Amino acid sequence: MEGNIVTNKKTIFKTARKKVNGWEVLKVLLFVFIAAIVILPMLITLFASFKTLPQIGSESALKPPSVLNLDNYKDVIKNNHVFTGLKNSTILVVVSVVLNSLLSTMVAYCLTRFNFKLKKVYLAVFLIGMVIPGTVTEISRFGIMVNLHVYDTLLAPILIYAGADLMQIYIYNQFLSQIPVSIDESAMMDGASYFTIYWKIIFPMVVPATATLGILKAVDVLNDMYIPFLYMPGANHKTLSTMLFACIQDPRTSSIPKLSAAAVIVMIPTLLIYFIFQKFIFSGIAAGAVKE
């Protein structure tokens, strides 16, 4: 019996092997090439972060560091606001993601479950939001932030990040339209209010979409340089991105090895998020973004 299975496995293996032709090898080689392009710049940066400046000049960039020299990291942490950046970025991510997912599910719930007069106008407004080039509207948004007295506080970016956008509403709509309205109705029969339906039924059922959108939002917020750079110039309000930007401009840390160490520090949070949650990212994009 056992032998039988083994021979079976062998034949399966053989047939699988037969398929390995030139085309198959070429395809794998193509992807190895792509992987190299993606990974090499990061690997080189990681190596450089452990080297000294003379080593950078004399060694090949691809040579792993001979010793795990942490001086660059110590210097960056000593001279720059690494922990402030980490703290502020964390606050921004948590608050923005929570607010944003509540607000966008609420909008999506209203838009899919109710008919109201201004529905079309409402959607059009979100569509305009999609076409407006964000970077340049900051010029006029800037004045509003100053007038609201939120300039150079964490509130300024939060107000911008928290708002729902068309893409999110669209993806939530995809999920919500798959939840039969009869569920709402039967809950209603049992005396549930619309709020209870949203909070106890709808919100828990769209959690997969929330996971995807929340992760993408978290990555966006962590990686955004522009908004914190404009609205939070104070040293106490550095985020990871603006801290790194400050490193580039600070002569104490602008050498290649130190900058590499700073870049590695800044990359770690998003990489962690990515490797832990990547399942959700891909499944959510697949489920929501495409089905028209």
Partner 1 sequence: MFKNGDVKMQKNIILVTFLFIPTILILMFMIYPLIKLIGLSFTNWDGLSPTYKYVGFKNFKKIIFDSPEVWAALKNNGVYFVGHILFIPIELFIAFLLDNRVRCCKLFKTITFLPYIINGVAVACMFSFLYSSQDGVLNSVLQFFNLGKIGWLSDPNIVNYSLTAVSLWRFSGIHIILFLAAFQSLPPDMTEAAVIDGANSFQQFYRIVLPNIKPVVEIVLFLNVRGALQVFDIPYVMTAGGPNHASETFTVQTINTAFQYADFGRACAMAVVLMIIIIIFSVIQQKLFNLKG
**83 touching partner 1, by CB under 8 A:** no
Q: Which stretch binds partner 1 (CB under 8 A): 1-9, 67-75, 133-141, 199-207?
A: 133-141
**274 touching partner 1, by CB under 8 A:** yes
Among 10, 183, 226, 252, binds partner 1 (CB under 8 A): 226
Q: Which amino acid is at 175?
A: F
- Structure token pair of residue 178: 């798959």
Among 70, 183, 271, 276, binds partner 1 (CB under 8 A): 271
Angle between helices 240-249 and 207-223 (to 10 degrees): 20
Using the 8-state DSSP alphabet, how is residue 288 labeled? Answer: I
Q: How many residues comprise the chain?
A: 292
Cα separation, 244 vs 248, in Å, equals: 6
**252 touching partner 1, by CB under 8 A:** no
Which residue, 7 or 64, has its beta carbon nearer to partner 1? 64
The DSSP result for 101-129, as a single string, is HHHHHHHHHHHHH---TTHHHHHHHHHHH
Instruction: State the nearest-atom distance from the C-beta of 197 to partner 1, in Å.
Output: 9
Cβ-Cβ contacts under 8 Å for 87 (sequence gap 6 or more): none
Q: What is the contact mask toward partner 1 in residues 9 to 28, using x (rule: CB under 8 A)?
A: ---------------x--xx
Among 9, 12, 39, 200, binds partner 1 (CB under 8 A): 39
Instruction: State the nearest-atom distance from the C-beta of 286 to partner 1, in Å.
Output: 4
Q: Which stretch binds partner 1 (CB under 8 A): 2-10, 70-78, 202-210, 215-223?
A: 215-223
Cα separation, 217 vs 206, in Å, equals: 16
Q: Which stretch binds partner 1 (CB under 8 A): 2-10, 65-73, 90-98, 243-251?
A: 243-251
Instruction: State the nearest-atom distance from the C-beta of 5 to partner 1, in Å.
Output: 24
Among 37, 68, 204, 251, binds partner 1 (CB under 8 A): 37
**65 touching partner 1, by CB under 8 A:** no
**124 touching partner 1, by CB under 8 A:** no
**266 touching partner 1, by CB under 8 A:** yes
Q: Which amino acid is at 57?
A: G
The DSSP result for 222-234, as a single string, is HH--HHHHHH--S
**222 touching partner 1, by CB under 8 A:** yes
**176 touching partner 1, by CB under 8 A:** no
Cα separation, 93 vs 97, in Å, equals: 6
SS3 state of residue 60: coil
Instruction: State the nearest-atom distance from the C-beta of 180 to partner 1, in Å.
Output: 19
Cα separation, 256 vs 220, in Å, equals: 26
CA dihedral of 40, 44, 47, 50, whole degrees rounded to 10: -150
**198 touching partner 1, by CB under 8 A:** yes
